[in-house]
Amino acid sequence: MEILKYSIAGLPYFAMYFAATLVLLAMFLLIYVRITPYSEFALIRQGNTAAAASVAGAMLGFVAPLANSVVQSANLADMVMWGFIAMGVQLLVYWFVTRIIPDLPKGIPEGKVSQGIFLGSLSLATGILNAACITY
């Protein structure tokens, strides 16, 4: 019973960090879908695999460093700061890829799966590297 008491004592911290990460994830998704010239969620509802792959990769690429920042951060404010850094990195990935492949913003709504997979994979790879760099 004593062990349970100590476990439950951490519940408020879990709730704070979990709520903060969900807010950051929602903010990221809202910003990401606003900077793209197409509506990912409408395309996904229509069955567009390219849109699903690209937004899934971006989301996972954001969540990987965000999760690591929860583990590595000194406090909630530190975690939120690293969350915003991770958000900025993912937005830069989209900007960079659209400079390398200028027709990508047209290709994803057209359902070009290779472009969606490439964007999503690059977002995820960058997120994994970003997560690895968040160490103290």
Please give the residue range of the domain that contains residue 104.
2-133
Residue 136 has pLDDT above 90, yes or no: no
Residue 4 has pLDDT above 80, yes or no: no
Specify the pTM: 0.91
pLDDT of residue 2: 74
- Rounded to 5°, angle at Cα 97 from 26 and 40: 40
Residue 6 pLDDT grade (very low, low, confident, very high; cuts 50, 70, 90): confident
3-state secondary structure 45-105: HCCCHHHHHHHHHHHHHHHHHHHHHHHHCCCHHHHHHHHHHHHHHHHHHHHHHHHHCCCHH
Residue 1 has pLDDT above 70, yes or no: no
Distances from the Cα of 61 to the Cαs of 94, 106, 126, 132, in angstroms?
A: 11, 22, 7, 12
The type of residue at 6 is Y
Residue 36 has pLDDT above 70, yes or no: yes
Residue 3 pLDDT grade (very low, low, confident, very high; cuts 50, 70, 90): confident
pLDDT of residue 21: 98
Angle between helices 76-100 and 11-35 (to 10 degrees): 20
Looking at the structure of the chain, the number of domains it has is: 1
How many angstroms from the chain centroid is the CA of residue 56? 8
